Structure 1
């Protein structure tokens, strides 16, 4: 089980009601399942991209992405413009 920080940006930040929070999860899929308990955030997550320590998760199954200890996970909704 890894601990780290999840950071929310733009619409994800508005839905979460906070900019960042600690997490305790072994995989990105487990982390997403946990934060999906917030119904506002659950509506935004399907449109988001995710970075784990700066590396894009891309189209991989989130359950296959192990989170290392101290990871920073960025939750990035689509952005308009540049």
Structure 2
């Protein structure tokens, strides 16, 4: 029997505003791609601007930046944390 686990999602700044929450979790049975994560998050927030905001974000998988990688190639294992950090103005 496959045990369901979670992927933790954390939103920052405008991503938090677009999601209406600081974060959420996704139930998974196995690793999924970052593309699938984005698809599931978009489906969970229909009609909003969340997907557009997330696509502009820097993404951390744990402490590893993955924004420059193809989201189809980024595997997100159960028990992981993904953080979405929108671009910040200023210095």
Tell me the TM-score normalised to structure 2 length: 0.79
- Give the alignment of 1:17-28 within 5 angstroms: 17-24=20-27, 26-28=32-34
- Give the equivalent residue in structure 2 for 1:16: 19
Q: Larger Rg: 1 or 2? A: 2
Tell me the TM-score normalised to structure 1 length: 0.87
Aligned CA distance change for structure 1 residues 2 and 66 (closer, same or farther; 3 Å)? farther
- 1: distance between equivalents of 2:19 and 2:7? 17
- 1: distance between equivalents of 2:5 and 2:58? 20
Runs of 5+ consecutive residues of structure 2 not aligned to the other structure: none
**Which structure is higher in helix share?**
1
- 2: distance between equivalents of 1:13 and 1:43? 13
Which runs of at least 4 in structure 1 moved beyond 6 Å after TM superposition? none
- Give the equivalent residue in structure 2 for 1:76: 85
| Aligned match for 1:43, one of 12, 30, 52 | 52
Offset of 1:51 from its aligned partner? 0.4
- 1: distance between equivalents of 2:7 and 2:40? 14
What RMSD in Å do the two structures reach over aligned CA positions? 1.7
